[in-house]
A and B are shown apart, each in its own frame.
Chain A
Amino acid sequence: MSYVIDFIQQPWPWYVAGPLIAFVMFALYYFGNTFGMSSNFRNVCSMLGGGRSCDLFDFDWREQTWNLMFTVGAILGGFIAYNFLTPDTAVGISPATIADLEAYGMVEPGKNFVPSEIFSFEELLSWKGLIFIVFGGFLVGFGTRYAGGCTSGHAISGMSNLQPASLLAVVGFFIGGLLMTHFILPHLLML
């Protein structure tokens, strides 16, 4: 039993996480639904009355309650994992990544899940916080609806279903991600 607890408290390797994600997708199919997190952005827009001003949100969001409940569960899962299953919140990133980020002036990269230099309410008042959090969030919300899905809907579900559209979306994810990380982030991280 203590072996099991020890195992759960360590960071989980990719070959544990990947199959569990595939299981989540399978279970959602078995329940008669699909796996797609970004749909919840649209659901919340509809819930807040967006259907009155925009036809994209003019649908009965109550039929999507299952997905909103899945999201509530995901938040709860994050809470449980953080508070009860993770004695050490350090992230096991590679030495090359640590060296790169230290060169940009980050202190102890990987000490927590997110860099405190960017993700704090104080930083929201700076260009850095505005660009990374506010503008970044906007692009995620806009891009995912434009592309008709995010990592769960396209990279996992769509590619598993051998959909050319999803493969193209994932190519787009990487064009954007690589452009940002290699050419734009070096400037933004120095802000």
Chain B
Amino acid sequence: MKYLKYIALGVLFGVTLTKAEIISWYRIYEMFMFQSFHMYGVIGSAVVLGVGVNQYIKRTRMKSISGEIIHIPNKPFSIPRYLIGGTLFGLGWALTGACPGPMFILLGNGVWVISIAILSGLAGTYFYGLVRHKLPH
């Protein structure tokens, strides 16, 4: 089954974010209050190692499992899209205490009410699809 490896990787992701308490509303509140290094350590160490991963993949022209050279896509730069969209995301993140990944992982933790936040998130994404041509990007 070709999807088994994705499920396995998802399990690792879900276990990690649960065990390191990243899915906790309190950890996000604490992060935005600058009252603990924990979340900065998680994201910071992932990015520092991630820079190494990106450089290694690019410099060695590393091949993927299917034998093609791995292509890491660039994100075209503009200001309004990232600044306004990012700020709206941040406002929501501080309310729910969960970004999209942790929302799903909280479901696995039995926090059923987060399914309502996921449905709202789907509605928000759909609404963006409807109005995006009227928004500055």
Contact = CB atoms under 8 A, between A and B. Distances in A.
A180 to B, nearest CB: 4
A73 B29 contact: no
Contacts of B54: 160-162
B34 to A, nearest CB: 9
Main SS class of interface, B: helix
Contacts of A3: none
Question: Which interface class (under 10, 10 to 19, 20 to 34, 35 or more) fits B?
Answer: 35 or more
A124 B116 contact: yes
Interface string B77-109: 111011111111111111111111101111111
Contacts of B96: 132-133, 136-137, 140
A75 B70 contact: no
A91 B27 contact: yes
Interface string A148-178: 1111101111111111111011111111111
Interface string B10-39: 111111111111111111111111011111
Given A76-B7, A78-B18, A145-B129, A139 B116 contact: no
A155 B14 contact: no
Contact of B95 (A15, A53, A135): A135
Given A27-B9, A77-B16, A141-B100, 14 more contacts: A29-B57, A41-B125, A54-B129, A72-B7, A91-B24, A93-B24, A101-B26, A135-B120, A143-B88, A144-B99, A151-B101, A161-B50, A168-B82, A173-B87
